[in-house]
Amino acid sequence: MKDKLLKAVGKTAFLLFVGGIFFLNSCKTSNEEKNESENIKQDSTEISEATFTIESLTTMLRHDPLNADLFAKRAGLRSFQNQFDEAINDIALAIRLDSLNPIYYTMQAEYFIYGGQPNSAKKGLTQCLNLFPGNTDIMLKLAEIHFYLKEYSQAKTILREVVTLNDNLGQIYFLQGLILLENKDSTNAIRNLRFAIEKDPEFYSAYMMLGRVHAGMHNNLSIDYYRAAIDIIPDSYEARYNLALYLQDHNYQVEAENEYNYIIQEVDSTVANPYYNLGYIHLIYKQDFEKAIEFFTTAINKEHNYIEAWYNRGFTYEIMGKLKLARADYNKSLDIQTNYPLSIKGLNRLDDGKPFKY
């Protein structure tokens, strides 16, 4: 029966890719910025918030308009809100006020990338290297941008230069691993990614990429790497979700449920995918159709155009003999995507008087 169900239902939700390469050390950067923010907050008599906001930083800048660090912090907050043009303007002001801070140039490069201006990012970092020759942080950021632009030979040239300056940086081998993956050399890619975590045991993104690579090989080492990433960032949605999906797809249903429930209860209850996948588990593996309906409904409430959730709820109704409800959900999914094949097949079953029988 499970095989018949699998042929009729929509797929499980997708695997999450490791966070963008421009957040390779995001957990460390976040903590450093948070500490810096707290220090400035304590020194300020104008602002009493526990954390900064764009508005509070704007107020502080009125009293201290030559403070480059405040402009940089406001740029960071604006980037988190996808206000990349404004972030670019703010970090440009920070650079104008303090042109000898290399961190500002790497921030500017990231905002250019996210703002759809990768060549500006590359140009800015190249100019920055003229100011700070041999700065490995800048060199690695420039190598990342070359990788982003699929300019692999340029990225490898920079990485070779960095090795001569400091071969203990895990990011060198992480980037080499990514380039090898792009060139379908998974064996050497894994070797480099492992070398990256030897150099930096707290390299979250390297563990995540190793988890993803081994998941693609259906190798249970994927579980170990995802759990290692979770040890570094316990409330990482990305790590816990990818782990749960691997467990689900490899018949560790109880463990997968536990991870999805943890995500919902402790990490982020607003995202639709964990609810959808719990619905999928209850539909396919438990045949608990009432519970499956509940989870698919919640997924729809979280993401109204979630076409797989509409279809699978309709399919569950069809199994339960609630054909009017099934038809309504199939039609709704076709409003979202007019040629969604599973919904068309579902309506054809109903029109032919041959609903799916459990």
CATH topology of domain 1-24+231-358: 1.25.40
d(CA 206, CA 214): 12
**Nearest residue to 242 via CA among 214, 265, 284, 266:** 214
Q: What is the pLDDT of residue 42?
A: 37
Residue 21 CB neighbour total at 10 angstroms:
19
Q: Are the C-beta atoms of residues 304 and 273 closer than 8 Å to each other?
A: no
Write the DSSP symbol of residue 217: T
pTM of the model: 0.81
pLDDT per position as a tens digit, 264-313: 999 999 999 999 999 999 999 999 999 999 999 999 999 999 999 999 99
Mean pLDDT for the chain? Answer: 89
> Region 244-255: what's the mean pLDDT?
96
Q: What are the residue ranges spanned by the domains of the chain?
A: 1-24+231-358, 26-133
Q: Which residues of 33-46 are buried (b: 16+ CB within 10 A; e: fewer)?
A: eeeebeebbeebee
Closest to 135 measured CA to CA, from 111, 114, 92, 104: 104
12 pLDDT tier (thresholds 50, 70, 90):
low
Q: Answer whether 1-24+231-358 and 26-133 agree in fold.
A: yes
Q: How confident is the model at residue 52 (pLDDT cuts 50, 70, 90)?
A: confident
User: Which of the four pLDDT bands, split at 50, 70 and 90, describes residue 51?
Assistant: confident
What separation in angstroms does the CA of 77 have from each of 28, 29, 64, 66? 17, 13, 18, 19
How much of the chain, in percent, has pLDDT values that exceed 70?
86
Tens-digit pLDDT profile for residues 97-134: 999 999 999 999 999 988 989 999 999 999 899 999 99
Mean per-residue pLDDT for 230-250? Answer: 97
Q: Name the burial class of residue 339, with classes exposed (0-12), middle (13-18) and buried (19+) by CB atoms within 10 angstroms of its CB.
A: exposed
Side-chain-side CA neighbours of 59 within 13 Å: the count stands at 12
* pLDDT the model gives residue 235: 94
pLDDT at 44 over 80: no
Nearest to 19 by CA among 244, 211, 154: 211
> For residue 343, is pLDDT > 60?
yes
Q: DSSP letter string over 244-285?
A: HHHHHHTT-HHHHHHHHHHIIIII-SS-SHHHHHHHHHHHHT
For residues 37 and 270, which has the higher predicted lDDT (pLDDT)?
Answer: 270
User: What's residue 7's pLDDT?
Assistant: 62
Q: With contact defined as beta carbons under 8 Å apart, do 87 and 108 qualify? A: no
In CATH terms, is domain 26-133 a member of 1.25.40.10? yes
Return the pLDDT at 31. 36
